[in-house]
Amino acid sequence: MIEQAPLWTVPVAGAVLLALAGGAAALRGGLAAGRASGAGTPGAEAARLLVQQRRSTVAADRLLWRLGPAAVCVAATLAVLVVPLGRWTVWDSPVGVVWFNAMEVVVWAGLWLTGWGANSVWGLVAGYRFLAQGLAYELPHMFALTTVALGAGSLRVGDVVAAQSGLWFVVWMPVAFVAYLVAALGMAFWGPFDAPAQADLAGGVGAELSGVDALLLRAGRYLMLTAAAAFAVPAFLGGGAGPLLPAWLWSLVKTAAVLTLLVWLRDRLPTVRMDRFTELSWVVLLPATLLQALLVAIVVLVR
């Protein structure tokens, strides 16, 4: 059902990701307009950062510092290669689910490098905050993905979509879906999990960034959020399945819907401290996802 698209579609996938992320940034700007001031439109802000001169700090580790924000952007772009748009996928990898997980983990390295490289206490603390948070959300996230692969009997994203032709996974794996959304917020350090980029650290990981690097980190955050929303569609929401509209349009509509929910959640929930989230994650979320995986395993065995 899902087929491999020709190689020239790689930039198309990147463009679609960028367009959706830009839309998310514009939506966020619109939602925050009543509260925050000074935030321009995404386009104007990007242009401002592009011409801004790069500042540096004393004894910064330039190489690692520049690598960090770029790694976040690259990771998000590589992650969407396995996400199908309707009938086509840029890379029909037999281990697409694992690939998405691996690219999402690149953000760990990217954020830590960004925080470390500046040789500034704010960034350093923020980098460690993200790792603490990452260790909390990663296992429930992995078990959510495992549950999806278990239900489909395959790690190929195309097979996962095909397995939902009767019933979407979100219906009988709701706990995994919730855990996935929590992790999606976590990996983009978004919403209640934005402790690594909080005002109490003067902006956290991005505190010392300026110019292109600041642009890359902010863009990377939206790109990662978009990539996570996009992967939720084939994993839980039936991929391009839907009435009337063509499959590719359904994929886009569903992605936009999940993305809107994630963006909207940001100002509705207070920031959760990493240590509280860690306990919640290990004591509540992890057993819940394990039970969900057990349930799905039993269903798969008996049917």
Partner 1 sequence: MQLVVFVVCAVGAVAAGAAVFWVDSMARATFALLASFLFVAVDVLLLDLAYLGVLIILMMIMEMVVMAVFMIMYMMNPAGLMPMSMVHNRRGSLAIAVGTFLVLAAGILLIHWPTRRGAPPAEPTRQLGEALMGSKMLVMMVLGLALFATMVATVVLAQHRGRYHRYGDELDRRAPDDPIRGGVGR
Residues contributing to the site for partner 1 (CB under 8 A): 59-61, 63-64, 67, 93-95, 98-99, 101-102, 105-106, 108-109, 112-113, 116-119, 124, 128, 131, 135, 138, 155, 273, 275-276, 278-280, 283-284
The β-bridge relationship of strands 88-89 and 3-4 is parallel
| Distance of closest approach, residue 207 Cβ to partner 1, in angstroms | 15
**Which residues 6+ apart lie within 8 Å of 97 measured at CB?**
82, 145, 148, 149, 155, 156, 157, 160, 235
| Distance of closest approach, residue 20 Cβ to partner 1, in angstroms | 25
| CB-nearer residue toward partner 1: 283 or 300 | 283
Tokens representing residue 285 in the block: 């979320």
| C-alpha of 22 from chain center | 14
| CB-nearer residue toward partner 1: 42 or 117 | 117
| Distance of closest approach, residue 215 Cβ to partner 1, in angstroms | 22
| Distance of closest approach, residue 208 Cβ to partner 1, in angstroms | 11
Q: Got the DSSP string for 30-63? A: HHHTTT--S---HHHHHHHHHHSPPP--TT--HH
| CB-nearer residue toward partner 1: 200 or 275 | 275
| CB-nearer residue toward partner 1: 121 or 167 | 121
Question: What CA–CA distance (Å, rounded) separates 303 from 301?
Answer: 6
Q: Return the beta strands (E) in 210-290 as ranges.
A: none
| CB-nearer residue toward partner 1: 138 or 213 | 138
Question: What CA–CA distance (Å, rounded) separates 166 from 272?
Answer: 38
Tokens representing residue 192 in the block: 């209640």
| CB-nearer residue toward partner 1: 87 or 273 | 273
Contact 161, 169 (CB under 8 A): no
| C-alpha of 131 from chain center | 15
Question: What CA–CA distance (Å, rounded) separates 57 from 54?
Answer: 10
| CB-nearer residue toward partner 1: 200 or 279 | 279
Residue 4: phi and psi, rounded to 5, are -70, 125
| Distance of closest approach, residue 112 Cβ to partner 1, in angstroms | 6
| Distance of closest approach, residue 282 Cβ to partner 1, in angstroms | 9
| Distance of closest approach, residue 117 Cβ to partner 1, in angstroms | 7
Question: What CA–CA distance (Å, rounded) separates 184 from 190?
Answer: 8
